[in-house]
Amino acid sequence: KALERAGRIAKRVIERDMRELVRIERKSLPDGIDKPSLAALLASIHGRSAVGRTLDEYVNSWLVRTPQERAAARIKQLATTGASPTSIWGQVRLDVARATKAAGDVARTMMTDTSTAVRTAAAGKKNKLVWISVLDDRTTIQCINLDGDTWFEGDDHVYPPVHVNCRSSVGIHMGGEAPKRSYIDWLKRQPKSVQDTVLGVERAEAWRSASISVGQMVDATKTRVLNLSSLRKLGRL
């Protein structure tokens, strides 16, 4: 019951923050854009799915059901192995802490999706969307590969978030050629240690030797990183 109550509270907080983000994003849209109404934007984010799940589904799975199942397993362990109540309670507290972290993961993922929804609606079909990835060593290979891509709403292209905790965003470019950002250019200027952190040691070594590109490290959907075994089978490592 406590987890269910915490899940409901977390959901209300995330929804409140999503509504506030819609207002902020709408105000920050560039001049010359036909801004959709606030009511229309708020309606557009209701029940949206981010990385395959709605907010309700994330809350039920990550914040309620999974911690409940783990807590039940801990209690069963107490009955079958004779572990002390103190030990089991410590493990249950860890499960609750994981659920608390999951709440942050859900919030960040839904915020990214909300930002994308506003900018996509504002861009319409006349203005290009531009993929913008964060230039640091926490950016994923999927987002590195997508950085700088441009497309029009309705084109066959993926949108952020492409994974949980995705920090990428879309910008709106009106007219002319969109400036080409390049995470790759940034990465080339970084020391080997940073490149290894970002790509993984084996991928980074192959990338530095020009035997593989970042684009060859992801699948055809551009949303999933190929593991080392798959890359070897494909002859890319």
Radius of gyration of the chain (CA): 21
pLDDT tens by residue, 12-57: 999 999 999 999 999 999 888 888 999 999 988 888 899 999 999 9
**Percent of the chain topping pLDDT 90:** 66
Q: Does pLDDT of 172 surpass 70? A: yes
pLDDT tens by residue, 48-100: 899 999 999 999 998 888 888 887 887 787 778 777 878 777 877 787 788 78
Q: Does pLDDT of 181 surpass 70? A: no
Interatomic CA distance for residues 184 and 145, integer angstroms: 8
Q: Count other Cβ atoms within 10 Å, centred on residue 159.
A: 21
pLDDT tens by residue, 186-216: 999 999 999 999 999 999 999 999 999 999 9
Nearest CA to 29 out of 39, 16, 13, 41 is that of 41
CA angle 186, 190, 193 (to 5 degrees): 140
Top-confidence residue, 76 or 10: 10
* Confidence at 178, pLDDT banded by 50, 70, 90: low
Interatomic CA distance for residues 45 and 167, integer angstroms: 18
